[in-house]
Structure 1
Amino acid sequence: MSLLQKTLEKIECLDHGITTLARERVDNLIKPAKSLGKLEDLAVQLAGITKNLEPSFDEKAIIVMAGDHGVYEEGVTNNPQEVTVAQTLNFAKGLTGVCVIGQVSGARIVPVDIGIKSELPPDVGIILRKVKNGTENMAKGPAMTREEAVKAIEVGIEIANDEMAKGAQILGTGEMGIANTTPSTAILSVLLNCDPIGITGRGAGLGKGGIEHKAEVIRRAILINEPNPHDAIDVLAKVGGLEIGGMAGVMLGAAANRVPVVVDGYISTIAAIIATGIEPRVKDYLIASHASQEPGAKRASELLGVKPMLAMDMCLGEGSGAALAFPIIEAACQMLKRMPTFAEIGMDI
């Protein structure tokens, strides 16, 4: 049995007995009913994920998947493709946005080369799990084979398993890959059955042809490859990216071990849509961090059915939004553990 299949068989629903108890407790804490809003819902979800009325997430890891894209050669961005490898090396040096924000809550940043075009040197603090040296140009044919897509997912599962074995109690997902808003938007266009022009954004920088050219490249990729919207792995293989598959695998692996996953912005949300397309129960384990400024982000969150908790006008990627959300998650846990009920302090209401 494949690692993917074994993982899928382990994914269960939330513990509804625990969520019922958690909701009862939250509703009886010394505060007006519902006065802590989404923080209350988050606490109940975390209890249901962990089967624990006092969940704790002292050990945090953000897994950053890095990969390149063959569609880059279509001129969809003005950024040099070499930025992927340069910025990935900066993760290991602690220099990037997610590294700095992650320090606030002590999150460990785990950079993974799942598909960078060039070869990284060993022993520089990057986990080398390359499936291939970047995807193929999806405007000319499939981005990868189905086998490569499954392998990318399984790499994500393996990295998640490794981090949880090291003690991680909660994971975040992040990515690095020049041109990766193009496959992300292609996936969303397929699953929404809509023209890409209305959901295509600038990404990290537009090529000379602008939005129209980028959308036309996406249209061409969908037309040539005919991805099956009812088969998430087929969509991933034909118009997706290796880092998208890797992040989907992280989500699947975490869910199989009853560990919550904090989803970053647009591209991570697309990975979450792929993960839930493979196994819908994964949705119970996802916490959406922030509403990205990318035009397709709102539609992606609506399709996933998980509303982001933050609106910070961010679109950096890297897992930066996930890092920013960790303190809010800690607050939800502290509310559940440390705030007493009216009965516990002898208040009769």
Structure 2
Amino acid sequence: MIFDIPLLNTGLDADIAHCIDNKTKPIGSLGKLELLAKQICQVQQTLTPQLKEPQMLVFAGDHGVVESGVSPFPQAVTQQMVMNFLQGGAAINVFCQQHGIEFRVVNAGINGELPEHVGLIDASISKGTQNFVKQAAMTDLQCQQALEKGSELVADRHKRGSNVIGFGEMGIGNTSSAAAIMAAVLNLDAQECTGVGTGLDKAGVERKAKLINKALKRAQLKKSTPMQVLAEFGGFEIAMMCGAMLKAAELRMLVLVDGFIASSAALLASKMHPAFLQYAIFCHRSKELGHKKMLKAMAVEALIDLDMRLGEGSGVAVAYPLVQSAVLFVNQMASFEDAGVSKDG
């Protein structure tokens, strides 16, 4: 797919800086909130930013690599957790409700049947990917279809009035996909990228890293494109997130990125369109091994670090009040002139 994601216009930058610096506070005293506010003003090209109809899309998909023993949980847990989402019992349900974020779960490719539900979007490409240790996780056509579907879903949210959207995921085995993507894109050994996932012990992590290295050797992607990496190692939920993120940036929406797996989709998106990162807000740094290095490779910083590694968009929802605070202080905090406060020492 071709996405038109322009570099942000810098014409308002001086006015944005003046607006933020002229609030009744020492310059820079709100720290990273000021940088966040500047980014939001730049994306929206305004001195009066707004957050409209915040959305959360959690993409769910199954992974064939689970058959190789990369997770302590069976593949069926993906479907079971999606049912938990639909029943309102997961952490992401609680946090989205707390902060007024509209939540939908997307079936990107679960190996099982799901009931019709108002909170479920059925966008299944296939009932799970192939085992990428043995072969490519998906075909080029499936990869393209997933990107397109993610793009379509975001376009629909935008038409409904949203200008801020968060992305999360669910899929047993998807930390293996994210680690493989990271290793392939950044040319790293899998041991530098592979963590405990849903709770592997030390021996399990070592086995997981060896399997990913075996897959990297099988694929032999020395001069690969992001699309090739995605098709070889990705999950349908990761591919769909990637397309969704790119479309959101094209539509000048704020893109709220969750942890390690969601960041692997953002990493690929940044390689497809470098301007994408200007629209992305990385909400938290996961405790999952590799995420810190992945963020550093993209030259971005996360808003919070709470040792979370749950996934399912939980970091986005927990960090969302900080995004709100950045917008509110720009719009509601008095300037020195308004408050009659002297700027001089």
Deviation at 1:80, TM superposition (A): 1.4
Match for residue 334 of structure 1 among 300, 318, 328: 328
Deviates more, 1:87-96 or 1:65-74: 87-96
Match for residue 155 of structure 2 among 139, 156, 161: 161
Q: Secondary structure at the match of 1:104?
A: helix
Match for residue 265 of structure 2 among 271, 275, 297: 271
Q: Check 1:260–1:229 CA distance in 2 against 1; reply closer, same or farther (3 A cut).
A: farther
Distance 2:122 2:276 in 1: 26
Work out whether residues 76 and 182 of structure 1, in 8 Å CA contact, stay in contact via their aligned partners in 2.
yes
Deviation at 1:323, TM superposition (A): 0.4
The answer to whether structure 1 residue 235 and structure 2 residue 229 are counterparts is yes
After superposition, what is the alpha-carbon deviation per residue over 1:199-226, rounded to whole angstroms, capped at 9, x for unaligned?
A: 2111013289511110111011111112
> Taking structure 2 as the reference length, what is the TM-score of the superposition?
0.96
Deviation at 1:325, TM superposition (A): 1.2
Counterpart position of 1:197: 191
Distance 2:16 2:119 in 1: 40
Counterpart position of 2:132: 138
The answer to whether structure 1 residue 45 and structure 2 residue 39 are counterparts is yes
Q: Check 1:229–1:189 CA distance in 2 against 1; reply closer, same or farther (3 A cut).
A: farther
Amino acid aligned to 1:112: V
Deviation at 1:312, TM superposition (A): 0.5
Q: Check 1:20–1:150 CA distance in 2 against 1; reply closer, same or farther (3 A cut).
A: farther
Work out whether residues 163 and 252 of structure 2, in 8 Å CA contact, stay in contact via their aligned partners in 1.
no
State how many pairs are aligned: 343
Work out whether residues 143 and 238 of structure 1, in 8 Å CA contact, stay in contact via their aligned partners in 2.
yes
Counterpart position of 2:285: 291
Distance 1:228 1:60 in 2: 40
Work out whether residues 272 and 304 of structure 1, in 8 Å CA contact, stay in contact via their aligned partners in 2.
no
Q: Secondary structure at the match of 2:104?
A: strand
The answer to whether structure 1 residue 218 and structure 2 residue 212 are counterparts is yes
Deviation at 1:237, TM superposition (A): 0.4
Counterpart position of 1:172: 166
Counterpart position of 2:253: 259
Deviation at 1:230, TM superposition (A): 4.5
Deviates more, 1:18-27 or 1:338-347: 338-347
Distance 1:91 1:309 in 2: 25
The answer to whether structure 1 residue 110 and structure 2 residue 110 are counterparts is no
Counterpart position of 2:315: 321
Amino acid aligned to 1:162: D
Distance 2:274 2:326 in 1: 25
Distance 1:195 1:338 in 2: 49
Identity over aligned residues, as a percent?
38
After superposition, what is the alpha-carbon deviation per residue over 1:211-258, rounded to whole angstroms, capped at 9, x for unaligned?
A: 111011101111111235541111000111111111111111111110
Distance 2:136 2:7 in 1: 34
Deviation at 1:45, TM superposition (A): 0.5
Counterpart position of 1:30: 24
Distance 1:38 1:208 in 2: 36
Distance 1:153 1:18 in 2: 33
Distance 1:113 1:255 in 2: 22
Instruction: Summarize the alignment of residues 55-66 of structure 1 with structure 2, pairs less than 5 Å apart.
Output: 55-66=49-60
Distance 2:164 2:98 in 1: 15
> Taking structure 1 as the reference length, what is the TM-score of the superposition?
0.95
Match for residue 95 of structure 1 among 85, 89, 103: 89
Q: Secondary structure at the match of 1:17?
A: coil
Distance 1:262 1:147 in 2: 27
Work out whether residues 148 and 243 of structure 2, in 8 Å CA contact, stay in contact via their aligned partners in 1.
yes
Deviation at 1:15, TM superposition (A): 2.6
